Structure 1
Amino acid sequence: MEDIRSAQQALEEARRTLDAAVQAARAQGSTWAQIGEELGMSRQAAFKRFGRPVDPRTGTRIEPRSVADVVGLTERVFTLIAAGDYETLMPLLHPQAARELTPDVIAETWRRVLAEVGTLQGAAGTHVELPGGGAVSSDDELVGTVVGATTLECEAGQVHGRVAVADDGQVVGLLLVPTDHGPLPF
């Protein structure tokens, strides 16, 4: 158990060291593109992971969200859709998204899923992706729009489910596609 504790402490220290190195590089004039290239991710992914944007209205830092929050929201959205609980689902959607993603549109889309693979049994492999790529660890804090991605396990097959989540925690997009679908729009 001591090895596990020691490894966890080393991982936490490495994360703090990396964050400090990124902040120092920014202070010295490095661009997000340069930092992203060094880390093997896009400039947007680097910014979402390490950026510290300030709300121009209040002058306060835009608070990051945890990966766990986005994972939980992603699974909750699909559970609510499968249950037909639009009264609980709709307030989770950004008002602009809710204008297009009406309960009728969502219900019809889910009906098509049911016709192909049956009822939802659960979600597997739920994780968070950054636009433009870039790894996300479960301990990262995120700003801006991110995507919760999961595999929906249904009684006769699987479907990929994706939820775009804005920096305020509201859902701005939903996507349900077959597992063999090609490139995804988000």
Structure 2
Amino acid sequence: MVDSSQSLTALSRLLAEQATGLAQEVGNPLASPAYLDVVRRARHVDDLAEQVLKLCVQQSRDAGHTWQELGDLLGVTRQAAFQRFGKPIDPRTGEPMDKTVRMPDAAERAITIATAVLDGRMDEARQSFNAQVLEAFTDEVRANGLATVTGLVGAFEGFGEGEPFVRRIGDHTVVDIPLRYEAGDMKARVAFDADEKVAGIFILAPETP
């Protein structure tokens, strides 16, 4: 069985080889690179770097470093670091929780639903709500929530920069969508339950884990 230190060494060597090859390909002054091949190679380098980072975080945790230390180093909160790299144990089963996102269209659906809510097209949005949200998220709740946000950051101007962030938390698929307001940035959070119905929708400060 290969331990994590051996895996890290092997992956790091492979990453170095691939990154060197990429640098040589794009840095050759004698020929234009095959751009799609460059993108493909860069994507592979990015995937390898993510694997190396995960193993480094795992070894840091095994060595006793805290999620707070790792979050500070990565520029995120300790909760965000845990959500990205942690391996939580499901208290119901005693087994590691499955973090695989099983909704390939989660980001697209979340944007559609958030847009409908922000635009006031609630009949359209409610088609995706589960029973609890359908009962709780009334027009009055929506209006009060949007009024609170407007009081904090002004008028809504559109979606912000960056891609939606999709991950699985427990039994839910959660999508964060950057939003741009008159006086600051926020994010919409849409949570889908196991039946792919909306189990929660919020507008939050961007630093909220």
**For residues 16 and 73 of structure 1, what CA distance do their matches in structure 2 show?**
28
More helix by share: 2
Q: What residue is the counterpart of 1:101 in the other structure?
A: 137
The share of aligned pairs that are identical, in percent, is: 27
More strand by share: 1
Q: Which runs of 5+ in 2 are unaligned?
A: 1-35, 147-154
**For residues 50 and 178 of structure 2, what CA distance do their matches in structure 1 show?**
26
**For residues 206 and 80 of structure 2, what CA distance do their matches in structure 1 show?**
17
Shift of 1:106: 2.9
Write the letter of the residue equivalent to 1:172: G
* Structure with higher RCO (Cα < 8 A, 6+ apart): 1
**For residues 6 and 16 of structure 1, what CA distance do their matches in structure 2 show?**
15
User: Are 2:90 and 1:55 aligned?
Assistant: yes
**For residues 68 and 160 of structure 1, what CA distance do their matches in structure 2 show?**
26
Q: What residue is the counterpart of 1:135 in the other structure?
A: none
User: Are 2:186 and 1:143 aligned?
Assistant: no
Q: What residue is the counterpart of 1:31 in the other structure?
A: 66
Shift of 1:32: 0.6
Question: Structure 1-normalised TM-score?
Answer: 0.59
Secondary structure of the corresponding residue to residue 172 of structure 1: strand
Secondary structure of the corresponding residue to residue 83 of structure 2: helix
Shift of 1:42: 1.7
Which digits, 9 at most, give the CA deviation of each residue in 1:49-93, with x for residues without a partner?
1111121112233332659755334312224434332541431x8
Q: Which runs of 5+ in 1 are unaligned?
A: 111-116, 129-137, 177-182
Secondary structure of the corresponding residue to residue 176 of structure 2: strand
**For residues 207 and 89 of structure 2, what CA distance do their matches in structure 1 show?**
28
Question: Structure 2-normalised TM-score?
Answer: 0.54
Paired residue total: 160
Of the two, which has the highest radius of gyration? 2
Q: What residue is the counterpart of 2:122 in the other structure?
A: 84
Contact 1:143 1:167 in 2 (8 A): no
Shift of 1:20: 1.0
Contact 2:67 2:78 in 1 (8 A): yes
